[in-house]
Amino acid sequence: KAGVTQTPRYLIKTRGQQVTLSCSPISGHRSVSWYQQTPGQGLQFLFEYFSETQRNKGNFPGRFSGRQFSNSRSEMNVSTLELGDSALYLCASSFEKGDMNTEAFFGQGTRLTVV
């Protein structure tokens, strides 16, 4: 079974540009969540999608947005990039079994560098 796939693996963007990152969850997983990882702030929750609906959102500015498609694939977008947006962006997918959560499986991440 293929794992969580994130593309691209590496990106270099210029301040002020926008960027779109993609995440393909494990087959059968309908929940996708996104995290930002930086040396200073650690792992921080960005947002979460389930069945194409945003279910939860972290404390990030509106420049960070996302969406989920009917096949559960998800994208996140960052507009007007700032130097501080340089980070490893991790996507995780989960299988929801009835009312109870299960574990989240993470992808390899997309390393975004803003120059």
Residues 5-24 that bind other proteins (CB under 8 A): 6
Q: Is 107 in the site for other proteins (CB under 8 A)?
A: yes
Q: Is 4 in the site for other proteins (CB under 8 A)?
A: yes
Residue 73 backbone dihedrals phi, psi, to 5 degrees: -60, 150
Minimum gap (Å) between residue 48 Cβ and other proteins: 6
Q: Is 43 in the site for other proteins (CB under 8 A)?
A: yes
User: Which residue, 62 or 98, is less far from other proteins as judged by CB?
Assistant: 98
Residue 90 backbone dihedrals phi, psi, to 5 degrees: -110, 140
Angstrom distance (rounded) from CA 7 to CA 42 = 21
Q: Is 106 in the site for other proteins (CB under 8 A)?
A: yes
Residues 52-71 that bind other proteins (CB under 8 A): 55-56, 58
Which residues contact other proteins by CB under 8 A? 4, 6, 31, 33, 35, 42-43, 45, 48, 55-56, 58, 90, 92, 94, 99-101, 103-109, 111
